[in-house]
Structure 1
Amino acid sequence: MTPYGMAYLTLLLVAFAMRFWDLGAMALHHDESLHAIYSWYLYEGRGYQHMPMMHGPFQFFGTAGLYHLLGDSNYVARVLPAIFGTLLVAMPFLLRSHLGRAGTLVTSVLLAFSPVMLYYSRFARNDIYMAVWVLALVAFMWRYLDTRKTVYLVLGALALAMAFSTKETAYISAVVIGSYLFLATVMDVFPWLLGRKALRRFSPPGDVLVLMATLLLPLSAAMVSLLQGPLGITLANPDWTRAAVGIPLGPGLYVAFLAVVGTIGASVVVGLRWRPRVWLLCTAVFWTVWVLLYTTFFTNFWGGLGSGLWQSLGYWVAQQGVARGGQPWYYYQVIGLNYEFLPLLVGSMAAAFYAIRGNRFERFLAYWALLNLLGFIYASEKMPWLLAPVMLPFILLAGKLLGGLLEKRPWSRQRESPVMHEKKSWLTEVHWPAVSFTIALALVVAVCGGLLLQGLSGDRDVAALLFLGVALLALAAGLAYVTKRVGKEKRWALFGASLVAVMFGLTVPTAVRAAYANADVPVEMLVYTQSAPDIPQLMAKIDQLAEETGKGKDLKVLVDSADGFSWPWAWYLRDYRHVSYPCLTTDAGCSGLSVTPDADVVLLSERSRNDAAPYMGAYGEPVRYKHRWWFPESYRGMTLKGVWNSVQSRESVCKVAAYFIFREFGQPLGSVDAYAYFPQEYDVGKVGKELPEKRVHC
């Protein structure tokens, strides 16, 4: 195996280990528990029905299959995203002819250590699957544009089917890619519309555009729901109290039927006039996969077709007005600069450069990154996991640009002949001033960060000041040597490589901290309204009580379902045979508590505790625990004037630096709490996770 191959294999093994290590330790997020339990229902033989709220069916079949192979557990519930997260690291290899050898490897490195990609490769949601499907679609598209081989159209159709069976963000990706293809084939499309050009004479980009349009047009019929206001009919019901969200009602049913039939007919006509055999093959692949998954292999045929063809998009059209999360338009920029500063900054520079001087592929990457970001900004629901599809094209842009930088060999001595270079030892080839420069710069950044925090918080450290002085002298010496010994054509490449090395050095601990140390602690912006570590700790206490009493899985547990507290308990308690989930608040539709519960363990929401207190005398002192906690979103409401004032404020700069370096901030974490009641004779012990003491006081 070549050194390049060994490097790639080593990287994949490292990525695999990072994604599979200790997968089950983190408390299951609310959404994760939904995905895990409905996959478990499928695994148990209870079937599956597509529900747009939980996105497409793919992850449920994939996770249920893994339950069959490996058993059901917290760990296995996250194995599928870990598999896809590892696969994503290898995906740039499909684009190696465009990224270049160095660019391919650098892109894979960025994907392997990306804080966002790593975190959501260990999180049971759809977003990491979507990253794989979209990158596969892009790779197969460019393979077809390069070779015109039909096999890549078929594989592209398969990637599309999997994407649209996974999550509705596939519509954003399809619009972005489709709009690029449209702009690339204007000279095909307009002559065809005027009847002057046959479809079969389209250029390669036109072929991909026709295929995507004809496959996806029926799935886009629900876009007519955007006109339900002017039309005065309900095409995507927004009110869950009337009927299921996203479905047509009344006269809207007839309009929806006509829209679906009309788009199917248009697709068939255009597809058969294009390249009939190729289109039929691609259509068979696409719709076979799609229909099997949405109809649960024909066991829910009409229901699956209806929800997949209409409600899948209709639900999210209706949710656009809800704006779940309530995040500002600049949300992805704020969270991106906290985690993906390297690809965001370098990728943005690459996009600007390639837009002007790039080739066709490089301009596509720039177009994809910009329009994709605008699409997710426009979508009203903004969540941290959506940073994964947002950052994907920026990572490719950064990998492409940095690969070109590495090919300039800024770390190497200049040689007259590549043959001579092959015969030289790497020790003699390494440009040691460049290495020294990078190390010195990294030390300066690290020490300056510490001194900034110390200075802003009013402390002084003489030793650190001396260390900084030595580092600065080393940097100055390195700069002088580099300036003198390195040619002008490599000087900027060397400086750029050094700065990127420093940013990468900051990225790795950022990724490790988010994925492991703070995986379920919302000091990280990636951790959004997360189930607290208290829950798996309490689950261990419940298991221990079941064992000590000899009741095993017959132990009786009552969970107050108020405020959505059933989740993630429905997953954790799935094997217990006597679990109930009444709503015990005094809200409308809730029963409250009027007698002593017939349960060994009772889990009450904080709002229910006072009303239930008279009936809880048979239990020991309740244990207060955090059910869900969240990041204090102090960035909301920012303005340019506010940002400028903050930059000028010593305290604000200190807080930003403290958060970026140590994940410390002045505000307490938000939480919604509950109380656990155990038998009086059972010693529950301590539950909860202590946060480390603050190191910086602004």
Structure 2
Amino acid sequence: MKHYWIAILGAALVALAFRLPQLERRPMHTDEAVHAIRLGDLLEHGRYDYDPHDYHGPTLYYATVPIAWLRGEHTLVQLTVTTMRLAPLLFGVGLILLLLAAGNVLGRTETICAGLLTAVSPIMVYYSRYYIMEMLLVFFTFGLLVSLWRYLQTGRLGWAALAGACAGLMHATKETCIITWFCIGVALICCGEIRVKPRERLLGVAVAAAVAIGVSVTCFSVFFTDWRGVPQSVLTYLNYVRRGQGSGHEHPWYAYLEWFAWHRTGRLVWTEGGILLLAVGGMVAAFHERMGFGKFLFVYVLTMAVVYAVIPYKTPWSMLSLVHGLILLAGIGVGWLARRWPWVAWPLLLLAAVHLGMQSARGNSARFECDERNPYVYSHTSRDAIRLAERVHQMAAVSPEGRRMLVKVMAKEYWPLPWYLRDLPHVGYWDRPSDPSGASVVITSPEFNLDFGDDWQTELFGLRPGVLLQVHIRRDLWQKFMATRK
């Protein structure tokens, strides 16, 4: 038992070593910036307004607020990138620690192997450093899988309540939880080993449902202070049916396989095929040794793979729950091999872990962390956007108004600029051309074809691949700035 704990804690430390360094270096993605602004509203005003047309549930913000308080950050301006990214990072590491509760479900050798693969998996590392909801969703999903299975085997209501809490937190995290619930339901129907008597089962379902609803309502009502979000959290699925058709993120059915298993850009090859190969071994082992949870996991993963392949809307982070299921199967595969051919299993695991770790180090390096050649970099902000924000701040430094100078942004796409310009109180945003009068700096989309004349200095910056912005600076202000460079 002692060695088991040490091994899991060791895997968690490896995970920290890959996830923690230089969290602030990578530019903020649009989605991260949007979440940051909403977090700032919660920090400053204690307000969270659920938007059923976009965005997601509040758990990410609730998880970040205590971290911000501990780091002395109480306003949007004080917020730092490191503070925000610490929240998903902690859940990413917590996902490994959660394996301590799965030893009796998966097997101890299997959980240790799964912990190591989770620690070094490039996609798990990359999105543990990303301020979006997915890592929290994966954490709560795994909590649901383990507690649900433990309840079905033991009949203890405590496990049913914990399963309900995890389900409620999933709903309060992201609406796509219903896909996971569907996959769990299919797996239970096909391979569920239910040892609980029917009458006791009804009580367990009632307890789980009551806790799930209670947790979800608590979160969406902002701890019973604003009830508008509760019905909207259900009505939102009408919008998600439409979004599932693509909404600008349409990809072929095999996109997830391409991103995860084999992604080649020039001479660079990115692959987590080692996990996939070991997961196939886990699938074989689950049926060969009649492992109840293994068979359940196989059907769960297979169903999820089919569902996500069919849905046109695809982003790399959407497959995290699927990948985590594959990692658990890979752990089963290594454990099965180790009992038969340990001289094959352990070198294979070591080779896979080293290869995955090298790719994680490369994918999160300064060179590739926002480079489109990295399969997990998706419509990401370029470093040029940070230089754009620096230019605006340089103008504020020489402006008579200082940080109170007027900045007008007229562009169809301008995120994450509201994050980078959050300390300037007089910045306005329009998605169409507007009157530039009174502004010291005007930022526009080139397609607007606006002519600012000789009284303005114009520079061109890249926001992200395929998106350019023009920065127009009043000539007198530009000359004052250039005088400081002599």
Task: Tell me if the contact between 1:63 and 1:77 (Cα under 8 Å) persists in the aligned partners.
Answer: yes
CA shift for structure 1 position 505:
2.5
Q: SS where residue 580 of structure 1 aligns? A: strand
CA shift for structure 1 position 530:
0.8
Show the counterpart of 2:371.
Answer: 521
CA change 1:295–1:550 in 2 (3 A) is same
Task: Tell me if the contact between 2:144 and 2:163 (Cα under 8 Å) persists in the aligned partners.
Answer: yes
CA change 1:358–1:685 in 2 (3 A) is farther
Aligned ranges for residues 144-183 of structure 1 at < 5 Å? Answer: 144-183=151-190
Show the counterpart of 1:310.
Answer: 235
Structure 1 or 2, whichever has the larger Rg, is 1
Q: Note the aligned Cα RMSD (angstroms).
A: 2.7
The residue identity in structure 1 corresponding to 2:232 is S
Aligned ranges for residues 208-607 of structure 1 at < 5 Å? Answer: 274-275=202-203, 281-301=207-227, 303-311=228-236, 313-322=237-246, 324-338=248-262, 339-407=271-339, 490=341, 493-495=342-344, 497-517=346-366, 518-549=368-399, 551-560=401-410, 562-565=411-414, 567-583=415-431, 590-593=432-435, 597-607=437-447
Task: Tell me if the contact between 1:324 and 1:380 (Cα under 8 Å) persists in the aligned partners.
Answer: no
CA change 1:545–1:69 in 2 (3 A) is farther
Show the counterpart of 1:619.
Answer: 456
Counterpart CA distance in 2 for 1:121 and 1:555 is 37
Counterpart CA distance in 1 for 2:99 and 2:4 is 14
Q: How many residues align?
A: 465
Q: SS where residue 576 of structure 1 aligns? A: coil
Show the counterpart of 2:48.
Answer: 48
Show the counterpart of 2:469.
Answer: 674
Task: Tell me if the contact between 1:32 and 1:124 (Cα under 8 Å) persists in the aligned partners.
Answer: yes
Counterpart CA distance in 2 for 1:177 and 1:280 is 18
Show the counterpart of 1:92.
Answer: 99
- 76-85 or 546-555, larger mean C-alpha shift: 546-555
CA change 1:62–1:404 in 2 (3 A) is same
Show the counterpart of 2:267.
Answer: none
Show the counterpart of 2:68.
Answer: 67
Q: SS where residue 371 of structure 2 aligns? A: coil
The residue identity in structure 2 corresponding to 1:535 is A
CA shift for structure 1 position 3:
4.6
The residue identity in structure 1 corresponding to 2:311 is A
Q: Deviations over 1:449-506 (max 9, x none)?
A: xxxxxxxxxxxxxxxxxxxxxxxxxxxxxxxxxxxxxxxxx4xx53454344333322
Counterpart CA distance in 1 for 2:287 and 2:293 is 10
Q: SS where residue 22 of structure 1 aligns? A: coil
Counterpart CA distance in 2 for 1:526 and 1:509 is 15
CA shift for structure 1 position 391:
0.7
Task: Tell me if the contact between 1:27 and 1:532 (Cα under 8 Å) persists in the aligned partners.
Answer: yes
The residue identity in structure 1 corresponding to 2:48 is Y
Task: Tell me if the contact between 1:355 and 1:366 (Cα under 8 Å) persists in the aligned partners.
Answer: no
The residue identity in structure 2 corresponding to 1:574 is R
Q: SS where residue 75 of structure 1 aligns? A: helix
Q: SS where residue 468 of structure 2 aligns? A: strand
Counterpart CA distance in 2 for 1:354 and 1:282 is 28
Task: Tell me if the contact between 1:624 and 1:673 (Cα under 8 Å) persists in the aligned partners.
Answer: yes
CA change 1:4–1:284 in 2 (3 A) is closer
Give me the TM-score of the superposition, normalised by structure 1: 0.62
Higher relative contact order, structure no. (Cα contacts within 8 Å, ≥ 6 residues apart): 2
Counterpart CA distance in 2 for 1:285 and 1:120 is 29
The residue identity in structure 1 corresponding to 2:198 is F
Sequence identity (%): 25
Task: Tell me if the contact between 2:190 and 2:299 (Cα under 8 Å) persists in the aligned partners.
Answer: no
Counterpart CA distance in 1 for 2:283 and 2:430 is 54
Task: Tell me if the contact between 1:43 and 1:64 (Cα under 8 Å) persists in the aligned partners.
Answer: yes
Counterpart CA distance in 1 for 2:244 and 2:2 is 51
Task: Tell me if the contact between 1:140 and 1:152 (Cα under 8 Å) persists in the aligned partners.
Answer: yes
Give me the TM-score of the superposition, normalised by structure 2: 0.88
Show the counterpart of 2:266.
Answer: none
CA shift for structure 1 position 107:
0.6
The residue identity in structure 2 corresponding to 1:310 is L
Counterpart CA distance in 2 for 1:548 and 1:508 is 46
Counterpart CA distance in 1 for 2:383 and 2:272 is 26
Gaps (5+ residues) in structure 2? Answer: 74-78, 263-270
Counterpart CA distance in 1 for 2:422 and 2:159 is 43
Task: Tell me if the contact between 1:352 and 1:366 (Cα under 8 Å) persists in the aligned partners.
Answer: no
Q: SS where residue 463 of structure 2 aligns? A: strand
Gaps (5+ residues) in structure 1? Answer: 189-199, 208-273, 409-489, 584-589, 630-670, 687-698
